[in-house]
Structure 1
Amino acid sequence: MGKVAMALVIVGALNWLLVGLFEWDLVSALLGGDSHRESSMISRIVYSLVGISGLYCIKYLFINEEHART
């Protein structure tokens, strides 16, 4: 269950990265809705930082849980 939750968090973070860099919402584009978002520069920076954090967290999907506890 933890890996599924982490994968969803990463997908969400990558979506915010796309919003921050390109003002394009992948989830809305795939599921229907307005895929273009107009945002202020500060919010785009925050979205991009969240997305970069998601990229960083990808490595945690591949860590053995038993190894992480020791």
Structure 2
Amino acid sequence: MKTLRRIALALIIIGAINWGLVGLFRYDLVGSIFGGTDSGFARFIFTLVGISGIICLGLLFNPETADVPERKKSRGVGNTSYATEFAEEPDLDRLYNPSREAFEEQDEEDPNSSK
């Protein structure tokens, strides 16, 4: 069904461009490509564009069928994580001074640490 909607959307875009050319320049691109507005194949293309419009009309009134990820409904507060609340304090000296001396100073101060 997703492929059908994409094809319908492409045909609607082609039809919109054709109508824009007709409105601005009185030039029927589909008709000129397929042998005139009254030719059978041009009328077939116009029919496909019309059917595509009817297919995509359903998307206008039913946003749930669009290709948009759906949000999950949740109760109360969202998925709250307290994992960092009870963790150790980070050693800011190692974060801001990643040189070798900062690591060596830490090891000299803490005799219980293992290398």
Scaled by the length of structure 2, what TM-score is found?
0.31
Structure with greater proportional helix content = 1
Q: Which has the higher contact order (CA 8 A, sep 6+)?
A: 1
Scaled by the length of structure 1, what TM-score is found?
0.50
Q: Between Structure 1 and Structure 2, whose CA radius of gyration is higher? A: 2
